[in-house]
Chain A
Amino acid sequence: EPEVTQTPSHQVTQMGQEVILRCVPISNHLYFYWYRQILGQKVEFLVSFYNNEISEKSEIFDDQFSVERPDGSNFTLKIRSTKLEDSAMYFCASSAAGRDQDTQYFGPGTRLTVL
């Protein structure tokens, strides 16, 4: 069964460094998302992406964040200058077009630790 994959599974970085989290969505999906989950808290929406542009973003998704689909398969989340409070699990998700768009399939997540 096709699935969303994410790399790395765990990323440790120093405060102020840039990180890029990578995702490979399900191949025939057209909508892509990033969510984050701070330890012990709820999953929070960051951004949705369709047709090579951001379609929606939350207030969390400030200028420090950017997303890109550099080729036909990868979808990346970049954090330019990480802060301690960026430590969280970051989940990528994708969904198909049409009515099936409703179901979002999540990757296993990348645990980001900012020291």
Chain B
Amino acid sequence: SQQGEEDPQALSIQEGENATMNCSYKTSINNLQWYRQNSGRGLVHLILIRSNEREKHSGRLRVTLDTSKKSSSLLITASRAADTASYFCATDPNTGNQFYFGTGTSLTVIP
């Protein structure tokens, strides 16, 4: 299966700390994307990193991609209570245009 797997499954941190979530996948990809989902809500696109990129930044988000290890990480710096949500990686394999979502990391930021 191509599906990504995130770890940890759950993460609880204090406001102001950094949060790091990891994603691993199995086959070669065109790109990898991170999404956020607040409880019972839709998916919000955070950042896309292509297979030929190694690192990307967007505001307080930093994403890395290691295609040799088939893994990615999402770093949220200076976390806020509003960052509390589930975070999913989604991979776009070389064939087709569907996404494969991971199981998600549930992040809780304690004020």
Interface positions of A (Cβ within 8 A of B): 31, 33, 35, 41-45, 48, 55-56, 58, 89, 91, 93, 95, 101-109, 111
- B41 lies within 8 A of A104 (CB): no
Number of interface residues of B (CB under 8 A): 25
Q: B42 to A91, Cβ gap below 8 A?
A: yes
24 A-B contact pairs sorted by A residue (CB < 8 Å): A31-B97, A35-B99, A41-B103, A42-B3, A42-B103, A43-B99, A43-B101, A44-B101, A45-B98, A45-B99, A55-B97, A56-B97, A91-B42, A93-B43, A102-B48, A102-B50, A103-B48, A104-B90, A104-B99, A105-B45, A106-B44, A106-B45, A107-B42, A108-B41
CB of B96 closer than 8 Å to a CB of A: yes
- Determine if A91 and B43 form an interchain contact, defined as CB atoms under 8 angstroms apart: yes
CB within 8 Å of A: which B58-104 residues: 88, 90, 92, 96-104
User: Is B96 touching A43 in the complex (CB atoms < 8 A)?
Assistant: no
The CA of A102 and the CA of B94, in the complex, are separated in Å by 11
Q: Give every chain B residue within 8 A of A31 (Cβ-Cβ).
A: 97
The residue on B at minimum CB distance from A4 is B42
